[in-house]
Structure 1
Amino acid sequence: MAMTDPNLCPANSGLVAIGARLRHCSRITTLGFRPNFSDYSLKQQQQLISARRILYPTAFYASLFNAMGKPTFPSVHTYTFAMDKIRQTAMFQMLGVPHPKTRVYYGPRQKQTILSEFSFPFIAKIPRGSARGQGVFLITNPKDLSTYLNRKGPAYIQEYLALDRDMRIIIIGRDVVLAYWRVAPADTFKTNISQGGHICFDPVPAAALDLALSTADKCGWDDVGIDIVESQGRFLVLEGNMKYGTKGFKTVGIDYKQMLCDKILNNEV
């Protein structure tokens, strides 16, 4: 689908986006991503430079606008931590955010110590660039571990929590816009909807909602789906998902695109 034509947008809207998330909102000018800034027309370059804030700047431009002192939505921090479990875990540990026992191992010598700190079963993940439940492995024996360690890069090891569900809490701006449970199918430990999990709208505990909001605030994330589990009476943050799915919104009859557009136009983010 084509990007919104900036010439069709009201001249006084003053809202400029780069990424495609808002292309259906006619009152917001979506320019599209150009890897070379010079590929934007002079008019478009001026729109970006003079805009009060850039919407969905993409990971490429978010840090550049941040260096210029120009705010963006989502925040530069939201992009910095996207699909990077190592950075997220380090931040959780630094901030004291409750998080399952997790360690990262670099190089063969460090990886040889995994079994001195974790007992089978445990979870191993591809720490960067993986999403939708891909790159997550249940390690139950030495063969599983050896297979996982054959891949290049750091080993991201996390304690296994024997649970069949977790909570997905979606925050836009400073508000929870949707919260639900994700329940794993009988044949897997993964709760991801793309892996066969299903959505359950039983009430999400208020303590989990508060933890999600405080985590997003501390980390500087303003457009994120935070996954939380309850284990032995404690709520633990698993990770933040900046590329969260929207099936939950459809399930309850919320037009996600219109909701997002309205929140921006009403200055709620």
Structure 2
Amino acid sequence: MALQVLALEARLRACRNVRTIGVRPNFTDYNPEEVALIRRAEKIYYPTAFYADLFDAMGKATFPSYHTYKCVQDKIKQSALFQLVGLPHPKTRVFYGKRQQLKIKRHFQYPFIAKEPRGSAMGRGVFLIENDADLEHYTQGRHVCYIQQYLTIDRDIRAVVIGSQVAHAYWRIAKKGEFRTNVARGGRISLEPIPKTAMALAIHAAKTCGWDDVGLDICYFDGQYMILEANMKYGREGFRAAGIDYYAMMERMIDEGYI
């Protein structure tokens, strides 16, 4: 049996070659044996954003990478990074405060998309803004507005990159009358072949951004593939639909030293 690696979060708790000790809000809550394990470990798996920051400061490797954690559930950082490195991404702007919010309609025409800029997932906090009333409802009491171009699509691709390869990719097709493709919002998974161009974009984007465990949402619009957003806490519905044992796959990647 291969040696066990150490994890804090419970994501790999079902893997035979991973010892999960949990996340303690105070480091002093770890017992002496756990402290010794953490200090000796060459790499810590799923350390959380808080501990990933600290482990990076002390030079200890983590999986996912420190850079992956920097953009967890932060659409503002993600969009800025996509724009900075030149990755294809829908027109997106962030507006701060009431004065900037008054300029939203100067940059976007109805309909457009508004999102919770941080902390949302599974299609929650994503709004289709079709008129002044919708915009007023979204901006009311809100200091930060994340506004994105509306794309007339009924499907997108979820490409999960682990390490430096696409571990799995599949289509998500929106249900009738729904603009969101999320499975949690009734989206349907399709295992039809994924274009090589989209797969290559996923690998390039993950490498460019320094992410090694991420679900990238990619769509085809106006003659090109573009990245909608990145999900570091992606679901595993697509793996189950394809008959892929996620835990066995991760065990193998760890055993082979791939991650």
Deviations 1:178-215 (A, max 9, x none): 11110001111110000000011111111111111010
Question: Is 2:8–2:48's contact at 8 Å kept on the other side of the alignment?
Answer: yes
Which of 106, 117, 135 matches 1:127?
117
Residue in 1 aligned with 2:242? 252
Question: Is 2:95–2:145's contact at 8 Å kept on the other side of the alignment?
Answer: yes
Deviations 1:6-32 (A, max 9, x none): xxxx8x825211110121223222111
For residues 184 and 190 of structure 1, the distance between their equivalents in structure 2, rounded to whole angstroms, comes to: 6
Deviations 1:146-176 (A, max 9, x none): 0000142310001101110001000111110
Gaps of 5+ in 1: 1-9
Map of 1:1-269 to 2, 5 A cutoff? 13=3, 15-269=5-259
Please provide the CA RMSD for this pair: 1.2
Residue in 2 aligned with 1:5? none
For residues 169 and 134 of structure 1, the distance between their equivalents in structure 2, rounded to whole angstroms, comes to: 20
Gaps of 5+ in 2: none
Measured after TM superposition, the shift of residue 265 of structure 1 is 1.8
Measured after TM superposition, the shift of residue 252 of structure 1 is 1.2
Question: Is 2:191–2:242's contact at 8 Å kept on the other side of the alignment?
Answer: no
Q: Indicate the percent of aligned positions where both proteins have the same amino acid.
A: 51
SS of aligned partner of 1:109: helix
For residues 143 and 169 of structure 2, the distance between their equivalents in structure 1, rounded to whole angstroms, comes to: 34
SS of aligned partner of 1:248: helix
Q: Larger relative CO (CA 8 A, sep 6+): 1 or 2? A: 2
For residues 253 and 186 of structure 1, the distance between their equivalents in structure 2, rounded to whole angstroms, comes to: 26
Question: Is 2:16–2:251's contact at 8 Å kept on the other side of the alignment?
Answer: no
One-letter amino acid of the counterpart of residue 252, structure 2: D
Moved over 6 A (4+): none
Matched residue pairs, number? 259
CA separation of 1:256 and 1:151: change in aligned 2, threshold 3 A: farther
Normalising by structure 2, report the TM-score.
0.97
